[in-house]
Amino acid sequence: MTQGKGFGLGLGKMKELADAFKKAQQVQQGAQALQMELEQMEIEGKNEDGSVTVVMSGNQEPRRVEISPEALQQDAAALSTQVETAMKNAYEQSTQVMRERMEELTSGLNIPGM
Q: Would you give per-residue pLDDT tens digits along the chain (114 residues)?
A: 455 555 555 666 778 788 778 877 877 888 888 889 999 999 999 999 999 999 999 989 999 999 999 999 999 999 999 999 999 999 999 999 988 988 887 775 654 444
The pLDDT of residue 101 is 87
Q: Is 88 within 8 Å of 46 (Cβ atoms)?
A: no
Note the CATH number of domain 12-106.
3.30.1310.10
Instruction: Tell me the domain boundaries of the chain.
Output: 12-106
Q: How far is CA 63 from the centre of its chain?
A: 17
Whole-model pTM?
0.70
The pLDDT of residue 70 is 95
